[in-house]
Amino acid sequence: MTLATAVFAAGCFWGVQAAFDNIPGVYSTRVGYTGGTLIDPDYQTVSKGRSGHAEAVEITYDPEKVSYRELLNVFFKIHDPTTRDRQGPDIGHQYRSAIFYLNEEQKDAAVAKVMELNRSGRLSAPVVTEITAARKFYPSEDYHQDYLKKRNLKSCGITTIPTSPEHTAPDLSGNSSFSNPFGHTAVAPSQKTAAADLHEHNFSSGSPERAAVAPSEKATASGRPGSDFSQKTNSFAYIEKEEEKADNKNFWKQKLTPEQYEVLRNRGTERPFTGKYVSFSDNGTYVCAACGNSLFSSESKFDSGCGWPSFDRALPGSVKFVPDFSLGMSRIEVVCSRCGSHLGHVFEDGPTETGDRFCINSVSMDFHPGKN
């Protein structure tokens, strides 16, 4: 038997794990943290929303019994993929909807599924699920593993645990307390974890409910982290600083030129054939002009004739993919995985074996010459 792995984030990982445990063909699951840059995160740091990590579930499955596409069906059935950084009462970047692909086949399947859902007309808003390359998965503390099963609880913000990977039509008549096209009801914080005991979560608010963290500790109204978390390691403090920069308009306006700010932070587009890297052919590495994150190798650059620098692949873990329905079009936006700045778009008409054409604004990048 050859097993495969899938990694999804869909809000509270307790309920997500319970949902996938119920699917025939799933061999095992474990909950944990991924998608961020903090090394060896724990629940206390991730729950503050500043580690960059999401609560996620790693699924080991038998592809002969259940396909990755069928797992995607389950994933989109058990949560609301149209809300950014929120599922029901759980608010924060750690509760984002995300698919962490482990290979190109999973990436293609995820993108195709998002496009299918958005074109179906069944959703009240576009899917905002993040599609990004998998990073290291950090298993969570033991008390979070199989949390609902251990307490004989059936759900955590998910009122319908699927018993098969079949993707049925969304129940638009459901009495959801938030706009969930799949008819699931957001469980109130007091109902969500009635069986949780205080020592397991150790919240400074003194509340046994997992969702009832004080707003200043968990998230602002915008879904971004609050600002009064004082216990930080040096590496964690750096990540907190980067998170604060991501939402600080004054910081970016001072750091970037007006043209860079318009493209990187306002998702603008430079005029074709005007960028300094369109016909540029030196050897080196292209990095994000906002934060310095390494993005593309010169070895992946090619002349597409489109008027913008083109690449057939990004460096592993360097970018994230976001569905983009602006200007009446259906595209996949490419953003920096570190600071979230807009880089360009990716299209499936590339001339190399990857089949991808990353169409990137020159102004979004800086260049570091030398060996890649």
Residue 9: inside a domain: yes
State whether 205 and 259 are in the same domain.
Answer: no
Q: Which of 156, 288, 339, 359 is catalytic?
A: 359
Chain segment 110-132, per-residue pLDDT in tens = 999 998 998 888 888 889 999 99
Task: Examine the residue annotation and report whether 359 is marked as an active-site residue of this protein.
Answer: yes
Residue 304: inside a domain: yes
Domain count of the fold of the chain: 2
Chain segment 20-47, per-residue pLDDT in tens = 998 999 999 999 999 988 889 999 889 8
- Give the dihedral sign, CA 110/112/113/117: positive
pLDDT of residue 231: 28
Residue 238: inside a domain: no
> Counting beta carbons within 10 angstroms of the beta carbon of residue 369, is it exposed (0 to 12), middle (13 to 18) or buried (19 or more)?
exposed
State whether 49 and 179 are in the same domain.
Answer: yes
State whether 154 and 275 are in the same domain.
Answer: no
State whether 206 and 277 are in the same domain.
Answer: no
Q: Which residues pair with 347 in a beta bridge?
A: 357
**Could you tell me the residue range of the domain that residue 66 belongs to?**
4-216
pTM of the model: 0.52
Task: Examine the residue annotation and report whether 291 is marked as an active-site residue of this protein.
Answer: no
CATH of the domain at 332: 2.170.150.20
State whether 170 and 104 are in the same domain.
Answer: yes
Residue 230: inside a domain: no
CATH of the domain at 190: 3.30.1060.10
- Averaged pLDDT score across all residues of the chain: 76
133 CB contacts (<8 Å, ≥6 apart)? Answer: 100, 101, 107, 316, 317
**What is the pLDDT confidence band of residue 8, given thresholds at 50, 70 and 90?**
very high
The stretch 210-225 carries a mean pLDDT of 29
Q: Which of 12, 156, 288, 336 is catalytic?
A: 12
Q: What separation, in Å, do the N-terminal and C-terminal C-alpha atoms of the chain show?
A: 39
The stretch 171-193 carries a mean pLDDT of 32
Residue 239: inside a domain: no
